Structure 1
């Protein structure tokens, strides 16, 4: 009888002492350790569950990085890094790129002790169309990435997080801040930072001064939205140019360190000519969809940091400044960083100041506001 009782007690103790890693994961599907990471950094390629705006459950991918140190007694602070436009094709996922760390400014925060969670978003690295600049879908994938990171024992990620992104990722960061409380009440948003964020999609796709970049980004948006939601491209382009839009989107990822192919250049020039003078915002259902996925300044909680270059040729500085002024009218504490570099360097040029500002928010310092000088 004593032996039976001891066996029962031993069985009970073994169940009670099962480590967290052995418990069923709610969000994390897999976490594969990466090699060749920057000094002092450990990282995992992850697959995790999220939901799109229609409530469909999807498996998506990303990267989680943390300091190469012993697990601290308290959970680590978390930054969700939301990347800029890499493309809309499955193979354009940042986590698949050998240049991921080089071109992901948010990874700099690992050196300051943060866990950095870098989702690919839906459809990049996973077999479904990427919902390009679709706010709710993107926000869900970011918030669920933070949740998944918390299920990696070696990351030691806490529930308090900041979100920081550039370009398309600035739009993602602002939408994540808007959705965080309702979608992920188990997480606590501490701060939001956006470098060169598209806010008013109609104005951004219309007013960027680089017409070729505008044509490529418009192609990404049109291909994504027509594929996902069945929007007809007939009011925008003829059949030949619709084929060019599809090929530009399916065959091109944004090239950071090499020139685009001749066919890509010719395709972009063709679409730039074909869409010249066409205001997509006035063509339905695209106009309504642009407005629905623009960022409402009244819904973005503070504290907020925006970094914007006055020489940005892709995200019009005037559009960003107008958004910032609207945020200020709501009484939200806003830090504004003026820069003069090109669009692609927005996050890198403001990284040191942004990480310092985020750290001060985690530390509980009152947020500064630049609203008066705006």
Structure 2
């Protein structure tokens, strides 16, 4: 799902980095979270250092893969045991390799970064597999995204100068909120040495069938379908012929090469392509076509215990992630005994600014979790 970048197609601006000596890759099999390289980045916020990292993770089938990301840490002495860590998961920037946030406008486009650093936290942001690395990007594939997040925390702890500790919170926006929910569900089994204190999700896609087919904006829905279909066809090796004509498959492939960036209108060719795809997909319901429906349901959150207390932020004006679907998801968590802080907003940005509009409230909530305070719950009041 797109967050902060809805239908604003174009390539994310490349951030030119001066390469420095990388941490050498060890020979032989590497454990998940092994840091491969950490290259200093220019443009970090004042009083902080930043590195573009490359590290080992595991895909949803358990096979090793390389992932890139960014670590940002405040300068100065760290507390005993290291700094608390926020593992950030971004919203949709695209599904093509060139769309990695770490090589785009990362510092300008990441909500809450400066505020997190001011509180003394290490901020680690995965690109996810396939963004910045050559394999297909597994868009909205829960286990892969969760592994990328959890292994980014492991990798951050190996960056000299970051002083990252074991305690972390998972925070994500739209596509990244989906990743954060899965990171919470899988953390105990996948990364038991880390201490997850809470999960924050802004505008989270939860029921993928409902979210992919029920958005109120048909153009955005068509664009997201192009991203999802292209990604899943390559990652799961599903022929696109199962959802359309050969011309439709070619159109999906062309649209999926777009990256999304803030403040830029789509090019005319992209607009025409979206309108054509809307026409081609009229009457197509991914929730009723196999194996698309099965994959969507398998990658919908909430099928396991959440793994910790949750902060969910949802804008009532969101036309991409349905507020009704998010509300129902949060209430189901409550019935299962989860502690859920549920924040609703009605700010003009709608979906696009969900994480930015809720950032201070989210960081206040995360701060309470790092401090060991009991997690508040709105269950029974929403």
Q: TM-score, normalized by length of structure 2?
A: 0.89
Greater fraction of residues in helix: 1
**Secondary structure of the corresponding residue to residue 175 of structure 1:** helix
Residues 298 and 57 (structure 1), Cα distance of their counterparts in 2 relative to 1, 3 Å cut: closer
Q: Could you report, residue by residue, the CA deviation over 1:268-307 in whole angstroms, capped at 9, with x for unpaired residues?
A: 1111121123210100000000000000254212310000
1:332 match: 338
Highest relative contact order (Cα 8 Å, sep 6+), 1 or 2?
2
Q: From the CA coordinates, give the structure whose radius of gyration is larger.
A: 1
Work out whether 1:303 is the aligned partner of 2:292: no
Are 1:163 and 2:180 matched, yes or no?
A: no
Deviates more, 1:298-307 or 1:183-192: 298-307
Matches of 1:290 and 1:334, distance apart in 2: 24
Once the two structures are TM-superposed, the CA of residue 53 in structure 1 deviates from its matched residue by 1.5
What is the root-mean-square deviation of aligned Cα atoms in Å?
1.6
Aligned pairs for 1:1-374 (under 5 A) are: 27-97=34-104, 99-107=105-113, 108-250=115-257, 252-296=258-302, 298-341=304-347, 342-374=350-382
CA distance in 2, matches of 1:345, 1:168: 13
Structure 2, unaligned runs of 5 or more: 1-22
SS of aligned partner of 2:261: coil
- How many correspondences in the alignment? 352
Change (3 A) 1:267 1:22: closer
Change (3 A) 1:106 1:123: farther
Aligned to 1:16: none
In structure 1, what is the equivalent of residue 17 of structure 2? none
Task: Tell me, yes or no, if the aligned pair for 2:188 and 2:307 is still in contact at 8 Å.
Answer: no
What stretches of structure 1 move > 4 A for 4+ residues in a row? Answer: 21-26
Aligned partners of 1:81 and 1:106 also within 8 Å: no
Given the superposition, is the C-alpha separation of residues 42 and 220 from structure 1 closer, same or farther in structure 2, using an over 3 Å criterion? same
Residue 343 of structure 1 aligns to a residue whose secondary structure is: helix
Deviation at 1:130, TM superposition (A): 0.1
The range that moved more, 113-122 or 336-345, is 336-345
| Higher alpha-carbon deviation: 78-87 or 254-263 | 254-263
